[in-house]
Structure 1
Amino acid sequence: MTVRVFAAATLGQIPLVYDPATELTHMPGRNVPAGRVMLDDEEVAGWHTIAQRQVNTRIPFNLCWSPLVRCNLHCPQCLDDKTLSESGATERERIADVLATSDVLGHDISGGEPLLLQSLPQLLKVLSSHRAAVSCTTNGWHLERRAEELAPVLDAIRVSFDGPDAASHDHWRGTGSFKRAVAGVRAAVTHGVPVQLHTVLMQSTAHRAQSVADLAADLGAVGVTFLQMLPIGDGAGLAASELVEDADALRIVRSVQPPHGLRVRLRTRELAEGFTVIRADGQVYHNVRGATGIHAIRPLVTAADLHLPLPEGAGR
């Protein structure tokens, strides 16, 4: 049994529990108090999951905030628009305050590379100051040296892997990346941070899905999320040769035999449709066109700027 932090609330008259490790939202099988709550992850994993479009609410279940464009790696499948300007420290503090009071259940800080941000612990502390669970998505290069500092303010961390060994992973991310990411995961686990491995399914990497799951178990991660590639940013240039179609992605992930205690999931492009992202320029973006593009909606001024259109036929 592993007891860790989740976020609970009632949205659209439906009780919900959000998992900051898997990014899944569940309907609890019992009464759970609202706010940041400690729950057994095995119990939560047994509850039904629910998608945003199924709930009559304009509040996103979770979102991603990318305060940095900067990154120490140059991955060809990167989703980021590197032409965006970065907000300064004062603006980042303001955005954190707005997000913290937004009633969103989960906030993930991504990038660029978020561990380049010295103020990351302070921003995470603000984001979790109300009811939200907080996480971070990283390439893992700087995780070993920052794990102890981040552990008290981080509910989960996701580390990107493109293969189960140095040869396959470093092909995409550069020499030394695998060694640094593995050391980072081990350090996070040692300091009690739940770790989820993230792997983008591409034609060149999908055949290693089982080995990535085995690696995750060896490192002490709680699970693996396989992500369908989104042809956004730099990744658009790889789509013709590397995109894995829906049926193939489902078949690949279903073929994975998770080691005992490890949970494996597929994040499809369908699930990524409409996802809310706050980018480094302070604009609210949504994934559009079946998550094959991303579109700026408006500047983030108040929490209301995060609101989604109500889904047709939502509610129960």
Structure 2
Amino acid sequence: MRLVRHPVLCNYYVTYRCNAKCSFCDIWEKPSPYIQLADVEQNLRDLKRLGVSVIDFTGGEPLLHRQLPEFLALAHDMGFITTVTTNGLLYPKYAERLRGKVDMLHFSLDSSEKEQHDKGRGVACFDFVLESIRVARELGERPDILFTVFPENLHQLEAVYRDITQPNGLMLIINPAFEYNAVATGEQLSDAELDYLSAFGKRPGVYLNEGFIGLRRDGGNHVAAPVCRAASTTLVISPSNELVLPCYHLGTKTFPVEGNLYELYRSEPVQQLAALEGRLPQCEGCTINCYMQPSFAVETSKYFWQALPSTLKYNWYKGTWKRMLAR
């Protein structure tokens, strides 16, 4: 049963540019402009009308955009829940300007060992993440650590939890790696490794969407009976101010926004393509967390019930439920 029939999330790409070269991502390879303030102001108004409640200012590396604090302030003042994920390289420099504007601030960290983390990210950023944690805590911020899990770094979860997140009072977010397009992530997590993650996710101070585990056990999205609701739950806006459908990672078509996102999203061409969410050939076997998380939240299914406990746990810990009630 569908519970919510309007989009709830906007993945707003401020730029595709990045100062890292992560092995499991191809975004940094793309040439890219930066989003413009006037477009952001108009689009936020339209996103509000469409019912969106969460704005994820993303990239690339979102902190490369010098106006990011202004975008966040606009969104925050309009009642949106805001989220930013960063590799930490620029956070200490801009932390004061970001203070109080990000509801869900994530620092990417995939190992407790500097060499392993920096190798995966293609740039020396481990020390910057630790410095970002120190600076954020001094400013009274409550960042999370986003740990992207592969079979080769699974053993590092314990050390990151014991030595970094728990001593600093941070939430450890477990993000199982996913493949898309030509981006390969190596061996998939085995059933035994999924069992380990499932048990780890039950610890205090750890967030793991159990729906992600269930979906992987089931072989991902299946076009014959799709669970993905990417296009009806999530709007993707590119740095060129285009609406990307059905999602960023598997996007097949872009539509220029041209100052009227509200009418564009509701237009027949967009809705026809949105209706194919989860049903395109490239959607078979998909496990992209960015779109499965909102998909699980808008209709009752076994994934909804699997995801619910971790969602409640995280929102209670972060206090974002207070912001939701105030909207």
* 8 Å contact from structure 2 (residues 73, 101) kept in 1: yes
Aligned match for 2:188, one of 210, 234, 243: 243
Other structure's SS at 2:243 match: strand
Distance 1:264 1:314, change over 3 A: closer
145-154 or 296-305, which deviates more: 296-305
Correspondence for 1:41: none
Other structure's SS at 1:128 match: helix
**C-alpha displacement at 1:191, in angstroms?**
1.5
95-104 or 274-283, which deviates more: 95-104
Distance 1:192 1:54, change over 3 A: farther
Does the alignment pair 1:293 with 2:242?
A: no
Correspondence for 1:99: 47
**C-alpha displacement at 1:216, in angstroms?**
1.7
What is the correspondence of 1:1-316 to structure 2 with a 5 Å cutoff?
A: 54-57=2-5, 59-80=6-27, 82-83=29-30, 85-89=32-36, 90-174=38-122, 176-214=124-162, 215-221=164-170, 223-232=171-180, 236-239=182-185, 241-244=186-189, 247=191, 250-256=194-200, 260=204, 262-266=205-209, 268=212, 274=230, 275-286=234-245, 293-296=250-253, 298-300=255-257, 301-306=260-265
* 8 Å contact from structure 1 (residues 68, 114) kept in 2: yes
Distance 1:121 1:87, change over 3 A: closer
1:210-258 C-alpha deviation (Å, 9 max, x unpaired): 223332222331x22222323236xx3423x24336x456323223276
**C-alpha displacement at 1:273, in angstroms?**
5.9
* 8 Å contact from structure 1 (residues 231, 237) kept in 2: yes
C-alpha separation in 1, matches of 2:192 and 2:255 = 36
Correspondence for 2:316: none
TM-score, with length taken from structure 2:
0.66
* 8 Å contact from structure 2 (residues 56, 82) kept in 1: yes
C-alpha separation in 2, matches of 1:280 and 1:129 = 22
Q: Which runs of 5+ in 2 are unaligned?
A: 213-219, 222-226, 267-273, 278-294, 302-327
**C-alpha displacement at 1:186, in angstroms?**
2.1
C-alpha separation in 2, matches of 1:200 and 1:210 = 14
In the alignment, residue 196 of structure 2 is paired with which amino acid?
A: I
Higher helix share: 2
Other structure's SS at 2:73 match: helix
C-alpha separation in 2, matches of 1:212 and 1:286 = 36
What count of residue pairs does the alignment treat as equivalent? 254
* 8 Å contact from structure 1 (residues 196, 225) kept in 2: yes
* 8 Å contact from structure 1 (residues 201, 249) kept in 2: no
* 8 Å contact from structure 1 (residues 151, 191) kept in 2: yes
Q: Which runs of 5+ in 1 are unaligned?
A: 1-52
Higher strand share: 1
Distance 1:187 1:100, change over 3 A: farther
Larger RCO of the pair (alpha carbons < 8 Å, separation 6+): 2
Distance 1:203 1:67, change over 3 A: same
Distance 1:55 1:257, change over 3 A: closer
**C-alpha displacement at 1:178, in angstroms?**
0.6
C-alpha separation in 2, matches of 1:272 and 1:208 = 30
TM-score, with length taken from structure 1:
0.68
C-alpha separation in 2, matches of 1:306 and 1:250 = 37
**C-alpha displacement at 1:110, in angstroms?**
1.1
Distance 1:109 1:213, change over 3 A: same
